[in-house]
Amino acid sequence: MMRSSPPGAHTRLSSTVVGILLTIGTALGAGACASGEPAAPAGAPAHTGHSALADVRVLAEFDTSAGQNTESIALEPGGGAVVGMIGARQVVRVRADGATEVLATMPVPADGAGTTPVVGHSQVTGVARDHDGTVFFLYAAGRGGLTGIWRLTPGSDDPVLIAPMPADTMPNALVIDRARSRFLVTDSTGGRVWEAPLAGGEPSVWSSDPTLAPSGFFGANGLKVHAGAVWVGNYDLGTIVRVPVESSGASGPAAVYATGLAGIDDFDFTGRDDEILAALNDTSELVGIAADGTHRILLDGDDGLQNTTAVVVLDDTVFISNGALREGNRPALRVARLIDG
């Protein structure tokens, strides 16, 4: 069920204006059309307090029949990225030219992972990349000894479980919090944020605040560390929650920062104060959230989005993943340019 935004907070760019702003015949536009997905807007009208996206293109497409539904993004130097693939249980590298390489494929548990909370099947979810090229990823398998944080060192195709998590958790988003020498992980079915040492070891619950709890499906989902706080998206409640980090590293009292974000998956800060770009999975939308918490749609299904799962911002470059989990058949990784709205 869709959740509505406060009056005046949720607006859609005029299709007429978007059409006028399309850059027809450019190399980027041609690349998007060649992929079979609609061309995306090359610019956007001015809108105080919000950024916009330009030059949106498809960097790589994946095979949904093989379970390559893109779930998460970790950026690499040179314009590439590492992507977690849900159904395929894979970690995939996407190079700046769109070429792809499977770095790891996780084994299916003997029972087919029917015990994985809520979803009932094993899946690779969050990914993160350290400065030395080491890739970390989450595997939710419904089994002890498989569920948890895995490490994949450069040049290796043999991942190692370094932080086992309980079988009844649903690890979803993964962040390297280097300032505290720890990983942070959302547990979507448990409605919690866990922490674990960067060197590996036993994880513990960092926050189980009620604002992170699910209401039927997933609670805590997307995760970022920003401006002295841990920020968490609650999928079921359509909220972004800010959890301050105390001087000891412990969690402080949580507060809801933004609402009306039905099916929010991953999100990222643009570097422009507390402005956020958020992927709304249920409605196949990418929205911009201003520092005052209001938001507007930047891209949606008319622009080729299908169950949007993740977004990552680096300077003025934005990476967006199409999950195509429940609708459509075009999982993809897109790239766009962030501009003033």
Residue 50 lies in a domain: no
Domain of residue 95, residue span: 61-340
3-class state of residue 247 by DSSP: coil
Q: Which residue in 152, 143, 57 sits closest to 103, CA to CA?
A: 152
Could you give the CA distance from residue 105 to residue 263 in angstroms, rounded to a whole number?
Answer: 28
Q: What is the pLDDT of residue 49?
A: 63
Residue 45 lies in a domain: no
Contacts of 27 (CB under 8 A, 6+ apart): none
Could you give the CA distance from residue 240 to residue 231 in angstroms, rounded to a whole number?
Answer: 7
Residue 48 lies in a domain: no
Residue 290 lies in a domain: yes
Number of independent structural domains in the chain: 1
Q: What is the pLDDT of residue 116?
A: 85
Give the domain CATH number at 196: 2.120.10.30
Residue 52 lies in a domain: no
Residue 33 lies in a domain: no
Residue 242 lies in a domain: yes
What pTM, to 2 d.p., does this model score?
0.85
Q: Which two tokens stand for residue 169?
A: 């958790």
Instruction: Name the CA dihedral angle for 299, 305, 310, 311, rounded to a multiple of 10 degrees.
Output: -30
* Helix or strand (DSSP H, E) at 114: none
Task: State which residues of the chain have pLDDT below 70.
Answer: 1-49
Q: What is the pLDDT of residue 134?
A: 98
Query: DSSP readout, 200-227?
Result: ----EEEE--GGG--SSS--EEEEEEET
Residue 4 lies in a domain: no
